[in-house]
Amino acid sequence: MDIGFIGLGNMGAHMARRLLEAGHRVVVYDTRQEAIGDLAARGAIAARSPAEVANAAETVMASLPTPDVVLKVATGPDGVIEGKRVRRFVDLSTTGAMMAQRIFKLLSARGIVQIDSPVSGGVRGAEKGTLAVMVSGPLAEIAAIEPALAVIGKIFILGERPGAGQTMKLVNNVLSATAMTATAEAMVTGMKAGLDPRLMLDVINAGTGRNTATEDKFAKAVLPGTFDLGFTAGLMMKDVNLFLAEREALGVPTDVIDAVARLLKLTCDEAGPDADISAVVQPVEKRAGVKVRAP
């Protein structure tokens, strides 16, 4: 299958590589020439713009950081919408349902189908092809690209409504953010009370408090102080804010997620939006006067 791939960052580069290794012909574009060069060295075809990618493939996938970037790449000048061959735009990014619906309408006016396909599983999941792939869109179009999506992870079809996949991704990500922020507060509290952090994780993971942060993230990035999970606090803040906008439109109370958003904002204010998501523990440590470390 001929596949265009736009966005070769931490996640996108691995997904594009896996598509190449599965035997697909992949045309790639990124704003960073070194990212294009890395994939071209593996056999990808380099393009100079999103429109050029869309001239070369019926299916164009995109893995991009923010909704405004996705909108520009999909529908802006020299964007996918100007491609002569493209039939479907597969958005692997996290944009929220409202932006997905907006892009769907703009592309459909030009005969291009948008398929929402946000993913979860982090850089490790992208590298190994074990992502959760949350797909919504016309079922016949999804069926046409299922073999390609299966290369990057496990497919979950959420229906035909534009934006359904995006809502599912936001639901997942706010739960991930909640686990990370709540674990940060709990671990700092235990540490200040004199508990050993590794023993705390062992006990939690043997009991009912276990979650993605205790099972993997704290031991990998917080206890050794490396803070290198590969996903920034700023991007998580973006996802949580998108969720809060959707729950506002739906009229759902979310007091717990509001608190999660406040700690994420504090992290971005103090450590910077480019800080790793695991740095969410640092504002809590600073105020408690202890650090959750066990080199």
Which ranges constitute the DSSP H helices of the chain? Answer: 12-21, 33-40, 50-56, 67-75, 97-108, 122-128, 139-152, 164-192, 197-206, 212, 233-250, 255-271, 281-288
62 and 45 Cβ atoms separated by less than 8 Å: no
Nearest-angstrom CA–CA distance, 195 and 7: 43
- Burial label for 156, CB within 10 Å (0-12, 13-18, 19+), is middle
Alpha carbon distance 206, 202 (integer Å): 6
The question of whether 291 is a catalytic residue gets the answer no
Among residues 98, 104, 166, which one has the least CA distance to residue 135? 166
User: Active site residue: 105, 169, 192, 265, which one?
Assistant: 169
Between the two ends of the chain, the Cα-to-Cα distance in Å is 47
Q: List residues with catalytic annotation.
A: 169
